[in-house]
Every structure is written in structure tokens, then in C-alpha cells.
Structure 1
């Protein structure tokens, strides 16, 4: 199944005082994906220091791989289904195109399938998806 949306994906890299962070035994660099400019993560999550450097990058269009839980409940019978099962989904970086598997998989079955898409551009991943008939 193919789903469309309009979301631009960016990544922000933040740096706080390196020496202070080192003294405290925490990292001085952290990242945020698609951070809201009106509510930035300008504080180091490990020691709450203010970021000294904030740099924005645009994410390249590599394939995003998702394991979506398929655990569901029938609203009429209250019966639960598909516990421990997952859909495999791939999407492009901006989330405008998503492919979702027609079949459910266990975690162990998904791991080798997900490896098929590692380090692929979304266009290459789309071709693999179609060839494997997922």
C-alpha cells in the first residue's frame, strides 16, 4: 500500500560546551530530526547546557525502514489479534511515499527483509520492494 504526505525532513546537529560536557562525562553533540523551529531542542539532553552551535542539514533520500506493530483489537468482540507481528514499511525521507507490506511478519522474519533495504536510495528500495512483491 502506498500512502502520501507532505513533510520535509531535516536534521539538526547541536553542540554545547565540549570541555564542560567532558568534565561531566556526557556528550556535547546531539541530533534532532525535523525539529520545530519554534520549539528547538537547544539544550543538551544530558546536562541541560545551552547549545553553542546549531547546524541544519537536509536528509538525503535514503530509504527509511519501519517495523510497525500489527497488534490489534476487535472493537466488537474485544479480542486481540496479531500480537508479536509486524508490518514492514519503507518510506522516503520526507514521508511523501510509504510502502506497507501486505503480510505480517515476526521480528525474526523482518530482520533479514529489512537488510535488503540497508543503505539504498528510496528509488532503489522501491525497485527491490516491487521485485520481492512485499
Structure 2
């Protein structure tokens, strides 16, 4: 299988409503798992998880790559690779402004991931 992006079945990741019932109460359909797995995989890397946290918590709702890169002991191209992975997984949007790229979290997608992982107190 090629490392290039593969077209996955479409779930409405922009929907405000949760796409996913909690996995603690319902089995995850194969189509849903195929669409959401790349996002979880992207967050499974410590650098990408930190980047996601920095972007999601940034003042004004967006972060410039120029502010993200100095927080890591990694090269610019390595940070760009991780940011591209977050973008391809649908977790962030990017906008180029001059020579810099600004990243914004996609709250609807994060809500869907959170909904899937929700556990009722009754299941503890």
C-alpha cells in the first residue's frame, strides 16, 4: 500500500453533532473506524500530541508555525512533517499568510473523537 493519502469513506467530520456513539456502549462500525483511525494514529505520536495541544490552546484559536517550531528540539522540516500529518488526519486546518503558515484545530473533529471515548460512570 502506498504512503500517499487514500480516499476513505466519508463521515461528516464537520458536523456539529457527534458522529460516534461511545465505544463503551456500542461497537464501532467498520466505516467509522476507518475514517477516525488516522486521527487517533496521528495523535499517537508525542510530538504531534504536543503540537495539537499547542494549536488547540493557542490564544485566538490559531498558532503560527513560527511559534510552534522553537518549542521542540527538532528541525523545521521535521515539525512540518508532523503538522502535515495532523492536517492530513483532519485534525487541523492550515492557512498560508506570506511566508508563514497558521494552524487551527478543528473542534468538531475533536468533539467526535472525544464522544467515541466517552465512558459513563456506570461502566467504571
Q: So what's the TM-score if we normalise by structure 2? A: 0.23
Structure with greater contact order relative to length (CA < 8 Å, sep ≥ 6): 2
More strand by share: 1
Bigger radius of gyration among the two: 1
